[in-house]
Amino acid sequence: MNTRMTRQIVVIGGGPAGLAAAAAAKKNGAEDVLILERDRVLGGILNQCIHNGFGLHTFQEELTGPEYAARFIRIVEEQQIPYLLSTIVVDLARLENGRIAVSVMNRSEGLFVIEAEAVILAMGCRERPRGALNIPGYRPAGIFTAGTAQRFVNIEGKMPGREVVILGSGDIGLIMARRMTLEGAKVKVVAELMPYSGGLKRNIVQCLNDYGIPLKLSHTVVDIKGKDRVEAVTIAEVGPDRRPIPGTEEEYTCDTLLLSCGLIPENELTGKLGADLSPVTSGPVVNESLETSIPGVYACGNVLHVHDLVDYVSEEASEAGARAAEYVSGKDCAAGEPCAIRAVDGVRYTVPAVLRIGKMRERQVIRFRVGEVFRDAEVVIELDGKSYRSVRKKIMAPGEMEQVILPKKDLEEIKPSVITIRIRTNM
């Protein structure tokens, strides 16, 4: 392999986002697409997600994670899209000619550079580091992130422990509560710092309620006991300021503490490239084409923002691949002035964050997350401060994405400079 090569489109990541993006780019006319994957196999995190529940939107059937990944791997192979495994991207840099230099390393070829006309970022996300949790006590063996425990059980066939406490109610933590129970462990409690769960409602029902596992909201771990191995943890209720309330402490004997305290996009490469990052999601800011602030660089999947359903990842990634193919083919249309999307009054963020009306599809999906639980509320859309549309929702929760759809023809007529999405209560 040459130490420097050129490609039309380089897709960084061979998980669900990267696979769907590459397939869509090829389908939409890009002849020269290359996938770079750091693992030994394609499929990404789906390979360790052996539970079902994937694919209901995309394939209209219920699949396990590996089955879902296999569908897209087969599409990529049928399209004869090349990929490099066990290959790590170490740097991205924009060149004077407008292309992107992708610095890559693997064992067989060493360090080499790929000059790409367009790049699709699909690196996924990572679990929040334990150091940010500030839990008092010792740091003995038996403390794992939920994702690490999932890999041990589902891929390596190893049990992290037999008596388990889980801190955090993200989807991986909820799923691991059920998985550990099915493998014979006793999950004693799931403690959640916030007054609401960060996971899907269906996972709370199917993974906790169905197995009699208690979920304690507004609780956190305040002490870890044990020097060589976890022996017990103490949890306590927290107040509105997220500080433990004295006198509410409860001790649980256990040999394992799983941490499911959220996910954040793998944003190191994005930051190195100089793309604008969202202070809320930590992922890149993108427009209607899923293009970052760097022309020709697109982002999709969990590297952009953490999704609740892999089906949405595939849908979003397919759009990114199609847009990247349009970019390298030179097919372009008038963009018009960018229109900012503001998230206020209960809406944490939106994807995209900017619309160029001239480049919109006929219907633009805008996904967003709320910052707290809302019941019997309205999603209000305003164009330049004037009410455009409202949608009533029975319940909205931070663990699940919401969306609104804007027709292009309406925005072409009104030509707004700012779109505001807010939550209205007290109806």
Q: 233-269 pLDDT, tens per residue? A: 999 999 999 899 999 999 999 999 999 988 889 999 9
Question: Is 171 within the bounds of a domain?
Answer: yes
Query: What per-residue confidence (pLDDT) applies to 427?
Result: 53
CA distance 241 to 243: 5
- Give per-residue pLDDT as tens, 262-294: 888 999 999 999 999 999 999 999 999 999 999
Report the pLDDT averaged over residues 302-316: 92
SS3 category, 133? helix
Give the number of domains in the chain.
3
Question: Is 309 within the bounds of a domain?
Answer: yes
For residue 1, pLDDT over 60 is answered with no
Nearest to 173 by CA among 157, 187, 154: 187
The answer to whether 339 and 411 are in contact (CB under 8 A) is yes
**Residues 299, 383: one domain?**
no
H or E stretch at 72: helix 65-78
- Give per-residue pLDDT as tens, 11-55: 999 999 999 999 999 999 999 999 999 999 999 999 999 998 898
Question: Is 19 within the bounds of a domain?
Answer: yes
Question: Is 408 within the bounds of a domain?
Answer: yes
Query: What per-residue confidence (pLDDT) applies to 217?
Result: 96
Look at the block and give the residue holding tokens 């230099």: 101
Confidence of residue 131 (pLDDT cuts 50, 70, 90): very low
For residue 133, pLDDT over 90 is answered with no
Query: What per-residue confidence (pLDDT) applies to 3?
Result: 67
**Residues 135, 252: one domain?**
yes
Lateral strand order in the sheet of 418-424: 354-356, 338-343, 418-424, 374-383, 386-396
Q: What region does 78 belong to: left with phi over 0, alpha with psi -120 to 50, or beta?
A: alpha
Q: Letter for the amino acid at 238?
A: V
CA distance 13 to 378: 37
Max CA distance (Å), the chain: 68
**Residues 59, 165: one domain?**
no
Rounded (10°) CA dihedral 251, 253, 259, 260: -80
Query: What per-residue confidence (pLDDT) applies to 132?
Result: 44
Nearest to 232 by CA among 262, 204, 252, 205: 252
DSSP 8-class letter at 19: H
CA distance 16 to 317: 8
End position of a domain, from candidates 261, 276, 294: 261
Question: Is 340 within the bounds of a domain?
Answer: no
Query: What per-residue confidence (pLDDT) applies to 129?
Result: 66
| Contacts (Cβ under 8 Å, ≥6 apart) of 148 | 127
Confidence of residue 308 (pLDDT cuts 50, 70, 90): confident
Confidence of residue 128 (pLDDT cuts 50, 70, 90): confident
Confidence of residue 136 (pLDDT cuts 50, 70, 90): confident
H or E stretch at 415: none
Query: What per-residue confidence (pLDDT) applies to 135?
Result: 74
CA distance 146 to 257: 9
What percent of the chain shows pLDDT beyond 90?
85
The answer to whether 163 and 193 are in contact (CB under 8 A) is no
Share the mean pLDDT of the chain: 92
**Residues 136, 88: one domain?**
no
**Residues 120, 269: one domain?**
yes
**Residues 249, 293: one domain?**
no
Domain extent for 415: 358-424
As a residue count, the chain comes to: 427
Range with the poorest average pLDDT among 226-235, 300-309, 335-344, 351-360: 335-344
The answer to whether 168 and 282 are in contact (CB under 8 A) is no
**Does 132 or 424 have the greater pLDDT score?**
424
Report the pLDDT averaged over residues 178-198: 95
Query: What per-residue confidence (pLDDT) applies to 332?
Result: 64
CA distance 154 to 147: 10
**Residues 365, 377: one domain?**
yes
**Residues 46, 100: one domain?**
yes
Report the pLDDT averaged over residues 340-363: 94
**Residues 253, 297: one domain?**
no
Question: Is 353 within the bounds of a domain?
Answer: no
- The strand pairing partners of 369, in sequence order, are 349
The answer to whether 341 and 326 are in contact (CB under 8 A) is no
**Residues 110, 153: one domain?**
no
The answer to whether 118 and 324 are in contact (CB under 8 A) is yes
End position of a domain, from candidates 277, 297, 332: 332
Q: What is the 3-state secondary structure (H, E, C) of 231-263?
A: CEEEEEEECCCCCECCCCCEEEECCEEEECCCE
Task: Tell me how crowded residue 389 is: count the other CB atoms within 10 A of its CB.
Answer: 14
Question: Is 175 within the bounds of a domain?
Answer: yes
**Residues 310, 365: one domain?**
no
Pairing, β 354-356 against β 338-343: antiparallel
CATH code at 201?
A: 3.50.50.60
CA distance 284 to 262: 18
- Give per-residue pLDDT as tens, 74-90: 999 999 999 999 999 99
**Does 307 or 128 have the greater pLDDT score?**
307
Q: Letter for the amino acid at 361?
A: R
Question: Is 347 within the bounds of a domain?
Answer: no
End position of a domain, from candidates 242, 261, 280: 261
**Residues 143, 241: one domain?**
yes
DSSP per residue, 177-200 = HHHHHHTT-EEEEEEESSSS-SS-
DSSP per residue, 328-381 = HHT------SEEEEEE-TTEEEEESSEEEGGG--SEEEEEEEESS-EEEEEEEE
Long-range contacts of 103-107 (CB under 8 A, 24+ apart): 104/36
